[in-house]
Amino acid sequence: MGKLFDVVLLILILLSVIFVMVESVGGLHQEVYDLLYVGEWIITIFFTLEYIARVITVKKPSRYIFSFYGIIDFLSTIPLYLSFILVGSNYLLTVRALRLLRVFRILKITRYIGESNKLKRALLHSRAKIFVFLFAVLIVSVIAGTLMYLIEGAESGFKSIPVSVYWCIVTLTTVGFGDIAPVTPAGQLLATIIMILGYGIIAVPTGIVSAEYAKSDDYVHVNTQSCPNCNAPKHRDDAKYCHKCGQLLNPEKHS
């Protein structure tokens, strides 16, 4: 029943987000907007009752109220009530999409939280390297932007050094809005170098984080000892029994 309730809750969350998205579309019949408004209120009342029920039934209400899910549940409930005071606040109902995180509980994939913690540790351990890398990219952008300003000038759209640095950052990140473009051969050559450099720059943070992530794996040291019964290799240094058949590895040592 708990799983069924969570599935129904997810469906209502999706409907609520869809209602808000459709309501922002202009040109629809007034009957459609009226139906969406009624549907939002029905879902909001359901969420309100669900939030109150959770607060009443949990052993430590304050723990739930100030938890991550408790705060999200509260924020996803109040926007429509605030619409009586603040015009347009009902569009904040899209915050309910965060409640879709409950899918982790429903699909029984909370075991992947350990992997997310490893990724978090990898990012924390590599933050100094990433900061230095970003600082270097910023220096390159300033230098290249200044050069482009000197080469192209205001007549080509590079009206100032900040604008040129903006163009360089856009080019380095391979976004390429196309709002500014060099027209001289020298400027196009510099732009080509920056674009090629951008592909290499994209790979650097990935390599830094990947290296730290690989280090964060829980390494268990194993030796070359084989089981005298089944010949299974790679046992832990502190292992007393075979991990495959359960045979005592060193009878004379443990006798």
| Structure confidence by residue, pLDDT tens digits, 238-252 | 788 887 888 888 766
- Burial string for 70-107 (b: 16+ CB within 10 Å, else e) reads bebbeebbbbbeebeeeeeebebbbbbebbeebeeeee
Q: Quick check: helix, strand or coil at residue 67? A: coil
- Read off the tokens for 139: 């220096």
In degrees and rounded to multiples of 5, residue 107 shows phi and psi of -85, 5
What is the pLDDT at residue 114? 56
Please, which pLDDT band fits residue 230 given cuts at 50, 70 and 90?
Answer: confident
pLDDT tier, 102 (very low <50, low <70, confident <90, very high otherwise): low
Mean pLDDT in residue range 157-181: 89
Considering only residues 151 and 67, tell me which one the structure prediction assigns the higher pLDDT: 151
Question: What local confidence, expressed as pLDDT, does residue 229 receive?
Answer: 77
Measured between alpha carbons, how far is 70 from 60 in angstroms, rounded to an integer?
Answer: 12
Q: Is the pLDDT of residue 188 over 70?
A: yes
Reduced to 3 states (helix: H, G, I; strand: E, B; else coil), residue 225 is: coil
Q: Are 14 and 36 in contact (CB under 8 A)?
A: no
Q: Is 104 helix (H, G, I), strand (E, B) or coil?
A: helix
pTM value?
Answer: 0.49
Question: CB of 37 within 8 A of CB of 90?
Answer: no
**pLDDT greater than 70 at residue 53:** yes
